[in-house]
């Protein structure tokens, strides 16, 4: 689980450093993901881990929806 948290943190950094030319819809996915992670930061322990997982799952779903619309 610690490895997962580290990987999630890296994923956030990657997303946050994405080029500013990213499309508006993707920016929404990213923005929502970062906002979600900020909210989960209020929690602690396994609740925070669960919340982080949910944030990542939502981000994955958001990106998937954008891909499938094309």
Partner 1 sequence: MRKSILLPLLLTACSGDGEEATYHLVPDFADRATPVTCAPADLGEVAIEELRAATDTSFVVLDAAQRRVTEFSDDLRAIWSLEYDEYGPAAVDRPVSAALLADSAVAIVARGGLKLVILGRDGRLIHAERLEFVPHAVAATGDELLITAVPMGGSPGSLLFRFSGGAMEEVAVPPREYADMLVGALGNQAAVETLADGDALVVHRLLAPRAFRVAADRATVASVPLPTPDATAERIPFVPRAPVTAAQSGDMLVPALAVSVDRSRDEVYLLTRSGREVDGRWQRAILRADDHLGFLSAYTLDAMAVHMAILPRRRAALVGDALDRIYLCRLDADTHAE
Residues that bind partner 1 (CB under 8 A): 3-4, 7-8, 10-11, 14-15, 17-18, 22-23, 25-26, 30, 50, 53-54, 56-61, 63-70
Q: How far is the CB of 64 from partner 1 (least distance, A)?
A: 6
Task: Say how far residue 2 (Cα) sits from the centre of its chain.
Answer: 17
Q: How far is the CB of 3 from partner 1 (least distance, A)?
A: 6
Give the Cα separation of 40 and 47 in Å (integer). 8
Q: How far is the CB of 51 from partner 1 (least distance, A)?
A: 10
Give the Cα separation of 3 and 16 in Å (integer). 20
């Amino acid at each position: 689980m610690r490895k997962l948290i580290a990987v999630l943190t890296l994923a956030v950094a990657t997303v946050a450093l994405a080029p500013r030319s990213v499309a508006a819809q993707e920016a929404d996915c990213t923005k929502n993901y970062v906002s979600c992670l900020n909210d989960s930061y209020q929690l602690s322990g396994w609740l925070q881990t669960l919340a982080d997982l949910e944030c990542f799952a939502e981000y994955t779903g958001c990106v998937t929806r954008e891909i499938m619309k094309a």
